[in-house]
Amino acid sequence: MRCPYCSYSESKVIDSRPAEEGATIRRRRECLSCTKRFTTYEIMERLPLLVIKKDGSRQSFDRIKILNGMLRACEKRPVPVARLETIADDIEQELQNSLEREISTQRIGEMVMNHLKDIDEVAYVRFASVYRQFKDINTFMEELNKLLVDKK
């Protein structure tokens, strides 16, 4: 790390601590040449994720879209927003940890439905009805029957 004062390339770390809820590390450094102190921040580099939509177009991954979809499905249900935020974080982390840089909306939708099925069945059915584009009442009933069979 170059000193911002004298541009010397050697410094020593005086103090290290997490910053921004552990997402970055703040380091106090001292230049070995001029002895002035300065602060640096280390952040984890994230590779961009692209979402492949049904029409074949691609766009950047946005966890807010996942969260908004779950919020709509959980409207007037006893599901805490903090739980939905945790699910969105978990899904994003799982996608970041995979080696794939392009993810289909189908895979993301299935991940959301798997989480919703565990926390609220009504929210799950609401999300599934939009995600799977139920065309009639029979399709809706098939999904409800699957849910009942899984519950046993």
How high is the pLDDT of residue 32? Answer: 96
b vs e for 74-104, b when ≥16 Cβ sit within 10 Å of the residue's Cβ?
A: beeeebeeeebeebbeebbeebeeeeeeebe
Tokens 């409207």, located at residue: 75
Rounded CA-CA distance 121/117 in Å is: 5
What does the alpha-carbon distance between residue 37 and residue 89 come to, in Å, rounded to a whole number? 36
Per-residue pLDDT of the chain (152 residues; tens, 9 = 90+): 899 999 999 999 999 998 877 778 999 999 999 999 999 988 876 778 999 998 999 999 998 999 999 999 999 999 999 999 999 989 998 998 888 889 999 899 999 999 998 898 889 888 888 877 777 777 777 777 777 777 76
pLDDT at 124: 85
Please state the separation of Cα 15 from the chain's center in Å: 30
What pLDDT is stored for residue 152 in this prediction? 62
Q: How far is CA 47 from CA 15, 19, 33, 69, 98, in A?
A: 29, 21, 36, 24, 11
CB 139 within 8 A of CB 125: no
